[in-house]
Amino acid sequence: MKMENYGFELTINGENCGRAGFESKHYVLSIIMLSMRVNHTGEDEASTYLTVGGVNSDKGARAEWLTREGLTKGDKVSLKVIEGPFDASKPLQFSKEEMQLQHKKSMYRQLKAELEELGDI
Amino acid sequence: MENNLGFEIHHNGKHICRAGVEDKLFVVSCIANSVSRKLGDKPTDLSMQIGGLISESFENIVWSDFDLKLGDTIDVEVIDDKFSPYTVTDVWLPPEPEALTKEEIAHKRIELQKLKEELAEHLDEDGELRI
């Protein structure tokens, strides 16, 4: 049976930015566009963000095709649902071990902050 | 302060919405997903979600949520006005902090010590993670 792997072809302001998709059997592929205004430092900060990436669930490996910040008014992003062949993702990929390490670091920061707030360390 | 930025979305040429909010603090998201899962009720998912969060009121909001199929096109333009009304789907209120028991604090302390040992090579002499 033909395996149905769907990806996305992305164009930004008329420039073709590639064909993102996984050849693996199990995967999560997302194109995420964000616009936000946050205030973590006492001052409002507005930002926009576009990322194309996901996870090869069979290998437990993250993949990323594109990340772009600073979209501005009038920018145009188009995507099309496609089948393979897909472009290779960026060479930088996090292994399962690297993801576990990042998770441990995150847990460490959180626990340390909690205990410091409690005055326990 | 400059206008908030949002996204105008067309699906196969059909206008869907102008997603954006006038509120001071917010997140607006347009997310296209293609998923093939090992487990679950919905093994595959090919969809688009346009939603966000009003940070000050903790409201989750949505403009549109629809399935995609092979060949579909989505066109997004960054905009800064005339936003479409949204629907509030739920309100997430942060939980009131609960007082931890001595046992829970002790457990956290043990967990922290265990992580400290495992991450020893990534910590400086003050126990801070090196960047």
Q: For the segment A48-65, what is each residue's pLDDT rounded down to a tens digit?
A: 999 999 999 888 888 999
For A37, name the nearest residue in chain B, comparing CA atoms only.
B25
CA–CA separation, B30 and A35 (whole Å)? 9
Query: By C-alpha distance, which of A87, A91, A62 is closest to A10?
Result: A87
Angle between the N-to-C axes of helices A96-117 and B102-118, in degrees from 0 to 180, rounded to the nearest 10: 140
What value of ipTM does the predicted structure carry? 0.79
Contacts B77 to A, Cβ<8 Å: 74-77
| A113 or A87: which leads in pLDDT | A87
Looking at the predicted structure, is the pLDDT value of residue B46 above 50?
yes
Query: By C-alpha distance, which of A42, A19, A23, A40 is closest to A31?
Result: A19
CA–CA separation, B77 and B73 (whole Å)? 13
How confident is the model at residue A99, as a pLDDT?
77
Q: CA of A100: how far to CAs of A24, A55, A94, A121, B118, in Å?
A: 22, 14, 10, 25, 11
Q: Is B25 on the interface with A (CB under 8 A)?
A: yes
| Tokens, residue A74 | 């009038």
Strands in B26-36's sheet, in edge-to-edge order, are A61-69, A45-56, A27-38, B26-36, B44-54, B59-67, B87-91
DSSP label at A94?
A: -
Q: pTM of the full predicted structure?
A: 0.77
Give the pLDDT mean for B23-45. 88
Looking at the predicted structure, is the pLDDT value of residue A92 above 60?
no
Peptide bond into B97 cis (omega under 30): no
Q: Name the band, by pLDDT with cuts 50, 70 and 90, for residue A47.
A: very high
Contacts A44 to B, Cβ<8 Å: 1, 24-25
Whether residues B37 and A111 touch (CB distance < 8 A) is answered with: no
